[in-house]
Amino acid sequence: METKNSTYLILSIVLLILSVFGGYFLFQNFKNTTKTSYNSNTVPKIELIPTDSPETEQITAIPTIESSSSAKITSLPATSSTTKISPTKILTPSPTKIITPTKSTTLSSTNLKDYSNSTDGFSISYSSLRVFTQDTEATGNRYTFSSSVGNFAVHVSSTGSWAWTHPDRQFTTNFTVSDQSTFRYDISTQTIVDLQSSDKNYTLQCIHNGKESVKAECEAFLASFKLVN
């Protein structure tokens, strides 16, 4: 009888020990699970988006004009300050070249409107399919001729300032506008031409996005520009 009681006692002690160990392991597992669910690997990080800050590039390209009636602009990437840019060889455009329209995507040079501004001393011709708007910018007045295929613009500044900066602006007779020497800057998406009068600086800008028909219209647009008294 004593042997049987001893067996029951031993089994009870073993069961108690196992219960204690089981409870301990369950507690540790719950603790680890709670900690893991809120560690840095499982909680999403909130990243702050930095605000725009002015860049101190030596060259600041002229703003690209968006296709909208309010003529909003966004800046082009600045050219590297260690790169010298010289005007590309430009063939003198033929003002009589006709641009064949294709429905609503290509502008026509046969139906033109004339615009003249005595205050800023210039006149220019543009396609009647373009929408004309006038506003101001930091350096002066801006005249925008909008189209979904690419906007054109005339930027007018007083002597001593320009609508864009360039460290090597050199005026030559390789390409002339209104019988004036110019500085011409061509990239794949646009053409920029600078010229001067006695008291004004002018920047003519064509956003053509590499489309040949819009490039041809741009050449006619540039050729039509005249300085007026």
The pLDDT profile of the chain, 229 residues, written as one tens digit per residue, is 556 667 777 877 877 787 777 777 676 665 555 444 434 343 333 323 232 333 333 445 555 555 433 333 333 333 333 334 444 444 434 333 333 333 333 445 569 999 999 999 999 999 999 999 999 999 999 999 999 999 999 999 999 999 999 999 999 999 999 999 999 999 999 999 999 999 999 999 999 999 999 999 999 999 999 999 8
**Same domain? 180 vs 134:** yes
pLDDT at res. 18: 79
User: Coil, strand or helix: which one is 3?
Assistant: helix
Within-domain flag for 214: yes
Nearest one of 87, 68, 84 to 150, comparing CA atoms: 68
Domain CATH code at residue 148: 3.40.1000
Within-domain flag for 53: no
pLDDT at res. 28: 66
**Same domain? 154 vs 110:** yes
**Same domain? 69 vs 35:** no
**Same domain? 200 vs 92:** yes
pLDDT at res. 43: 34
**Same domain? 72 vs 169:** yes
Within-domain flag for 50: no
**Same domain? 19 vs 107:** no
Within-domain flag for 49: no
pLDDT at res. 14: 75
> What is the span of the domain harbouring residue 3?
1-44
pLDDT at res. 154: 98
Domain count, the chain: 2
**Same domain? 162 vs 106:** yes
Calculate the alpha carbon distances from 98 to 19, 27, 94, 216, 220 in Å.
96, 86, 9, 9, 9
Within-domain flag for 11: yes
pLDDT at res. 224: 97
Question: Taking CA 56 as the corner, what is the angle to CA 154 and CA 202, rounded to the nearest 5 degrees?
Answer: 15
Nearest one of 198, 199, 197 to 182, comparing CA atoms: 197
Q: What's the rounded Cα separation, in Å, for the pair 207 and 149?
A: 8
Within-domain flag for 59: no
**Same domain? 9 vs 69:** no
pLDDT at res. 4: 60
pLDDT at res. 118: 95
**Same domain? 114 vs 4:** no
pLDDT at res. 141: 97
**Same domain? 179 vs 107:** yes
**Same domain? 213 vs 111:** yes
Q: What's the rounded Cα separation, in Å, for the pair 166 and 200?
A: 17
**Same domain? 23 vs 94:** no
Within-domain flag for 51: no
Q: What's the rounded Cα separation, in Å, for the pair 134 and 82?
A: 35
Within-domain flag for 223: yes
